[in-house]
Amino acid sequence: MPSDTSPAIVRLTVRNHPGVMSHVSGLFARRAFNVEGILCVPLGDGAQSVVLLEVADDERLEQMIAQLRKLEDVRDVRLDPAAAAAFEAVGRWIA
């Protein structure tokens, strides 16, 4: 990540349908909070997805998590430091 703050991985479980990613990214855009990386994978029958967001771990992160929890299609939000390995793997794959 190019910023001076360390990255955090936010793990979202969301209802999987058109427009969900737009709602999530719109929330970040309205608050001028940059997303450095996004990974999205459907779960089980595809009714839900896991979205991993690599973001700056700064003083605004707690508020962003609180706002994500208010979105209708978001079922769960948590920090998931172990998911950083997924971004590292993708980084090696595209390099």
pLDDT of residue 5 exceeding 50, the answer is yes
| Domain span holding position 42 | 7-94
Report how far apart, in Å, the C-alpha atoms of 78 and of each of 10, 45, 72, 83 are: 6, 22, 16, 11
**In the structure, what pLDDT confidence band is assigned to residue 1 with cuts at 50, 70 and 90?**
very low
More confident residue, 66 or 95: 66
**28-47 pLDDT per residue, tens:** 999 999 999 999 999 999 99
* Residue 45 neighbours by CB under 8 Å, 6+ apart: none
pLDDT-above-70 percentage for the chain: 95
End-to-end CA distance of the chain: 15
* 18 within a domain of the structure (yes/no): yes
User: Is 2 a residue whose pLDDT tops 90?
Assistant: no
User: Is 85 among the domain residues?
Assistant: yes
pTM: 0.90
Give the CATH number, domain containing residue 72.
Answer: 3.30.70.260
The reply to whether 1 falls in a domain is no
Residue 77 lies in a domain: yes
- Does 71 reside within a domain? yes
Q: How many domains does the chain have?
A: 1
Nearest to 38 by CA among 10, 16, 2: 10
